[in-house]
């Protein structure tokens, strides 16, 4: 016997999933665009991180959702992919 979720239960499940996704993406070690590890070391070694030596195009920064801005670095892969497409 299968049981369907009520609309309220479905909405709660969706919100929980969205909440979990937002928590994952707001992690300072994850890229705010793709969610993968960004390998940023600025919090542990602020003078030697790769992210301090690259220029991130404004067009790419503009793609970061408002609620995730200034919380984590965009990963090198997303920056390189953007530069190749430009």
Kindly report, residue by residue over 10-20, the tens digit of the pLDDT.
Answer: 334 445 466 66
Tell me, rounded to whole angstroms, the distance of Cα 20 from its chain centroid: 12
Q: How many structural domains is the chain composed of?
A: 1
Half-sphere CA count of 59, side-chain side, radius 13 A: 7
Residue 86: pLDDT band with limits 50, 70, 90 = confident
In the predicted structure, residue 66 carries a pLDDT above the cut 70: yes
What does residue 30 show for φ and ψ, rounded to 5 degrees? -120, 140
Residue 44: pLDDT band with limits 50, 70, 90 = confident
In the predicted structure, residue 54 carries a pLDDT above the cut 50: yes
In the predicted structure, residue 34 carries a pLDDT above the cut 60: yes
Q: Identify whether the C-beta of residue 60 lies closer than 8 Å to the C-beta of residue 73.
A: no
Q: Identify whether the C-beta of residue 81 lies closer than 8 Å to the C-beta of residue 33.
A: no
- Closest by alpha carbon to 32, among 81, 62, 73? 73
Q: Give the domain range for residue 43.
A: 8-85
Q: Is 2 a member of any domain?
A: no
Q: What pTM does this model have?
A: 0.66
Under 8 Å CB-to-CB from 86, ≥6 apart: which residues? 57, 59
Identify the pLDDT of residue 2.
Answer: 41
């Amino acid at each position: 016997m299968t049981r369907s979720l009520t609309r309220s239960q479905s909405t709660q499940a969706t919100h929980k999933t969205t909440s979990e996704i937002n928590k994952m993406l707001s992690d300072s070690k994850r890229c705010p665009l793709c969610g993968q590890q960004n390998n940023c070391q600025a919090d542990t070694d602020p003078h030697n991180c790769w992210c301090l030596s690259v220029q991130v195009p404004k067009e790419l920064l503009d793609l970061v959702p408002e609620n995730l801005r200034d919380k984590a670095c965009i990963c090198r892969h997303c920056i390189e992919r953007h530069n190749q497409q430009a």
